[in-house]
A and B are shown apart, each in its own frame.
Chain A
Amino acid sequence: MKSEHPSKITLEDLLQLKRVERPSAEFWPEFEKELRAKQLAAIVQTRSSWRDLVRRKTLIRLCMPLGVAAVVAMVFSSVRSDGPQAKLAEPVTGQVAIGLVALDSLVENTDVRVIAGEKSASNIAVAANDVVSSTDAPSDVVAVVPVVAATNNAKATNFGARTFDVNPVMQVLSEPTLVQMVGRAISVSSQAIDSRAPVAEPLAQVAMPRDNRRSRLLAYSVPFDPHAADSLDAVRSRDRVTHRLSDEAIYDSITRLGLSGDRVSIKF
């Protein structure tokens, strides 16, 4: 390197060297070849990207309504399963179970009554009491009646199956329909209870021995005509005879008879 510069060399002069840093002539054919290849690849990629865009648009057009429909269906199903109808159906299911129990007891007691041939009125009264006790609340009566309507052949199926069969019926019921059914149930159940047996106190239903004796004596003393029972005169005469035969007179007549060994003594 020259220690002293004959003419001024500036930075711009040095940078002129950069201008002449040029590739050789052999470089450009290779450059053009690569450029053509890249250009073709870019064209192909451009078409594929356009196709992808079209595919995406088509996919969006197809999938958006389907997705929205699926979401709506899921929301609808979840609302149906968690909504007010389901909340209504759950307690109804419990009531239906209670009603089924009551129906079972009713059916069993009715069977008992039929088998006994109505020999014992107390059994019938107890059966009626079971029905009444199990249907005290109107809500329970509400639950009983749809079950009665839906399970005519209730004996053929078990309890779980009946409950399972009733639930869909209750789920599809709308509120007005349920109100109508409640009204019908109350009226029908009250009619059924009234027609089956009168409501009486349990102590009053127990037949006393004196009543049996009284009815036996009356059967001999006053012939009872069931056809004439409705007539007012017959009722009055029967009451008069009954009052006349007081308990003291009956006991007095019995004490006049005496049994001792092989002898019978009668006091007059």
Chain B
Amino acid sequence: MDVAAKALTKQLVVSPERQHEADSDRVIVQRVQAGEVAAFDALILKYRERVYGVVYNMTSNREDAADLTQDAFIKAFQSINRFQAQSSFFTWLYRIAVNSTLTHLRKAKLRTFFSFEKITDEDKTAQLVNQLTDKKGADRDLFIRELQEKLNEAMMKLSIKHRTVVTLFEIEGLSHEEIAEITGCSVGTVRSRLHYAKQLLQAELQRYISQ
């Protein structure tokens, strides 16, 4: 299969929103490559929360997540001239962030500290918590805190590769193909890892999951 066919296949699997997003990113990247450094700020503003979310859910540490997110943007800025638009910018940026996080996690394998972000009480979250408990007030907050800890503990029990796949698919909502492109493995491997990771998580969170 030639490069054009591969690119067409990639474009077919991505959603129209992703495609539109990729096109707008390509324009900004071209401006940065042309020397308009300030245009990179638009990319930072656009992707900082998402990149931070990926890194945070992989590390379960907000300080490390902030540092790694900043490092990912700096690496992307330094390497922007080497970006050839063969993939979308956000995929390329995610790849940088994931690889930096994996390197960090491998280095700090024995040193794991949790520092959680506060769960924002959105409508969907409130509905979920209401399904789980009928507690009100402080007890409700305590329950949410306990559930968050259990979730992160279950995530941290996964291997780095499985955690990455779960984070990208379940939390960030990327497709299997995008995850395969980011992690550098096949789609089948992504599916396998995702299936295995879900089994482990279900075993860990069986108490909160209805049978």
On A, residues with C-beta under 8 Å from B are: 1-2, 5-24, 27-28, 31-32, 34-35, 38-39, 42, 46
- Closest-by-CB residue of A relative to B77 is A39
Contacting residues, chain B, for A42 (C-beta < 8 A): 74, 77-78
B17 within 8 A of A: no
Q: How far is the CA of A52 from the CA of B146 in the complex (A)?
A: 52
Q: Are A46 and B143 CB-contacts (below 8 A) given A14-B205, A20-B120, A35-B73? A: no
Closest Cβ–Cβ distance, residue A227 to chain B (whole Å): 115
Interface residue stretch chosen among B89-97, B99-107, B130-138, B179-187:
B130-138
SS class, residues of chain A in contact with chain B = helix
How many Å from the CB of A189 to the closest CB on chain B?
A: 84
Is A23 a contact of B208 with CB atoms below 8 Å?
A: no
Bound Cα distance A210, B49 (Å): 137
Interface residues of B in 48-78 (CB under 8 A from A): 48-49, 52-53, 56-57, 62, 66, 69-71, 73-74, 77-78
- A-B contacts, 15 of them at CB < 8 A, read A1-B132, A9-B131, A9-B208, A9-B209, A12-B170, A15-B151, A15-B171, A19-B171, A20-B124, A21-B148, A22-B117, A31-B52, A31-B66, A35-B70, A35-B73
- Contact at A31–B143, with CB atoms within 8 Å? no
Residues of chain A lying within 8 A (CB to CB) of residue B56: 21
Q: Are A18 and B57 in contact (CB under 8 A)?
A: yes
Residue among B70, B119, B128, B208 making CB contact with A34, cutoff 8 Å: B70
B binding-site residues for A, Cβ under 8 Å: 44, 48-49, 52-53, 56-57, 62, 66, 69-71, 73-74, 77-78, 116-120, 122, 124-125, 128, 131-134, 143-144, 147-148, 151, 155, 166, 170-171, 198, 201-202, 205, 208-210
Query: Could you say which residues of chain A place their CB within 8 Å of the CB of B155?
Result: 18
B residues near A2, Cβ cutoff 8 Å? 131-134
Contact between B70 and A31, CB atoms less than 8 A apart:
yes
A22, B125: Cβ atoms under 8 Å? Answer: no
Q: Given the known inter-chain contacts A21-B116, A21-B119, A24-B118, please indicate yes or no for A1 contacting B143, CB distance below 8 A.
A: yes
Q: Is the CB of A9 within 8 A of B171?
A: no
